[in-house]
């Protein structure tokens, strides 16, 4: 079941992919943790805003379950250095949590630069990023309180889990990129290497990561359990179709898919199913399940696609290429 939330349509159109459903109550504090998390090995830290899980192969999932985004960052540890893939909402400091998990030098890389993935970037001095205009803008400007204020309403955050948090002045800090990278870049952590896979569609700077040795595939917001949002002004449905088909091929050899929201470990077969499902939309073999204004929902059970009606013309020419 997807968790309910109260958010304005403006927030849905300007913020990132995340869990969404019909309103049934008025406080995020009324929501229970996802039961699947109980099957993972939890690692306690001094920051209870986060739930940290050891997901194997010297990798930690750092979950923010007390905000409706349920954003997940990943600390990927090698022998010489570690990579933090996304830095979350920036509502609580993430750097102290990372220091409790490793003493190695930390590099940051974002799956994309929507606000819920770059909130803690400013805490770090070594940041890699895709060399796109979209990334440059996000880094230089961050996101104002006006742009992210809906993240701190009672329906979207459990404030009792973060005493003293200043909701009136919450914003996403700008940050400084120290190294720009491109598609295919190999991140060498010492005894493990991560391949950067360019996967535009959700945003122009979206990427995934693949660890061939561990057979772990990090998918950012390109795939996860729940409604996948494809109606932001940065959305490109044509690019997304190409990207999800690409990462589905990686999933054929992966043991686990590690998304950026909701659940940190998902079976690769579900990503492959999502790629096939998107093909049904492209070919016209899947009908709209529901419509909310200009947002069309195509429901496939464990996941769905929420697509902006105005972007459907971007699917032209994609048929036959997936």
Position 85 pLDDT exceeds 70: yes
**pLDDT at position 319:** 58
Backbone angles phi, psi at 241, to 5 degrees: -60, -40
**pLDDT at position 313:** 86
Q: If you write DSSP's letter for every residue of 232-246 in order, what string do you get?
A: STT--HHHHHHHHHH
85-108 per-residue burial string, b: 16 or more CB within 10 A, e: under 16: bbbbbbbbebeebbeebbebebbb
CB 23 within 8 A of CB 30: no
**Could you report the per-residue pLDDT of 134-176, keeping only the tens digit for each?**
999 999 999 999 999 999 998 999 999 999 899 999 999 999 9
Residue predicted with more confidence, 11 or 147: 147
Q: If you write DSSP's letter for every residue of 107-148 in order, what string do you get?
A: EEE-S--SHHHHTTGGG-S-EEEE-SHHHHHHHHH-B-HHHH
**Closest listed residue to residue 60, CA positions, set 84, 92, 88, 80:** 84
**pLDDT at position 120:** 98
CA distances for 154 relative to 13, 29, 169, angstroms:
20, 8, 15
Q: Report the top-level CATH class of 9-315.
A: alpha beta
Q: What is the pTM of this model?
A: 0.90
**pLDDT at position 322:** 54
| Structural domain spans, the chain | 9-315
CA distances for 129 relative to 136, 137, 190, angstroms:
9, 12, 20
d(CA 306, CA 281): 11
- Residue 74 bridge partners (DSSP): 61, 85
Position 14 pLDDT exceeds 50: no
Backbone angles phi, psi at 167, to 5 degrees: -70, -25
CB 94 within 8 A of CB 50: yes
Q: If you write DSSP's letter for every residue of 162-207 in order, what string do you get?
A: STT--GGG--B-----SEEE-TT-EEE-SS-EEEEEE-TTSSTT-E
Position 301 pLDDT exceeds 60: yes
Question: Interhelix angle for 268-283 vs 237-251, to 10°?
Answer: 150
Position 48 pLDDT exceeds 70: yes
**pLDDT at position 8:** 36
Position 267 pLDDT exceeds 70: yes
Position 123 pLDDT exceeds 90: yes
Position 12 pLDDT exceeds 60: no
Query: What band does 221 get if pLDDT is binned at 50, 70 and 90?
Result: very high
**pLDDT at position 24:** 42
26-64 per-residue burial string, b: 16 or more CB within 10 A, e: under 16: eebeebeebeebeebeebebeeebbbbbebeebbbbbbb
């Amino acid at each position: 079941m997807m968790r309910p939330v109260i958010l304005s349509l403006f927030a849905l159109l300007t913020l990132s992919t995340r869990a969404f459903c019909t309103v049934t109550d008025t406080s995020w504090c009324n929501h229970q943790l996802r039961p699947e998390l109980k099957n993972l090995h939890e690692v306690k830290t001094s920051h209870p805003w986060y739930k940290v899980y050891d997901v194997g192969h010297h990798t930690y999932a750092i979950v923010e379950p007390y905000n409706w985004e349920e954003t997940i960052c990943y600390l990927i540890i090698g022998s010489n250095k570690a990579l933090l893939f996304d830095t979350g909402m920036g509502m609580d400091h993430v750097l102290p949590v990372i220091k409790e998990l490793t003493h190695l030098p930390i590099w940051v890389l974002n799956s994309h630069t929507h606000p819920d993935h770059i909130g803690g970037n400013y805490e770090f001095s070594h940041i890699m990023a895709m060399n796109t205009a979209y990334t440059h803008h996000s880094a230089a400007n961050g996101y104002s309180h006006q742009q992210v204020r809906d993240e701190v309403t009672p329906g979207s955050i459990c404030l009792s889990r973060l005493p003293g948090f200043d909701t009136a002045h919450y914003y996403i800090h700008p940050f400084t990129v120290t190294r720009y990278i491109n598609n295919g870049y190999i991140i060498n952590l010492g005894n493990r290497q991560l391949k950067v896979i360019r996967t535009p569609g959700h945003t122009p700077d979206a990427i995934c990561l693949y660890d061939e040795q561990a057979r772990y595939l990090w998918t950012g917001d390109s795939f996860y359990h729940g409604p996948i949002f494809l109606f932001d002004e940065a959305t490109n449905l044509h690019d997304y179709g190409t990207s999800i088909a690409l990462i589905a091929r990686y999933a054929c050899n992966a043991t686990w898919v590690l998304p950026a929201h909701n659940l940190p470990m998902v079976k690769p077969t579900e990503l492959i199913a999502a790629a096939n499902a998107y093909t049904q939309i492209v070919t016209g073999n899947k009908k709209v399940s529901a419509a909310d204004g200009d947002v069309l929902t195509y429901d496939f059970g464990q996941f769905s696609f929420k697509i902006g009606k105005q972007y459907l013309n971007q699917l032209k020419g994609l048929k036959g290429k997936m």
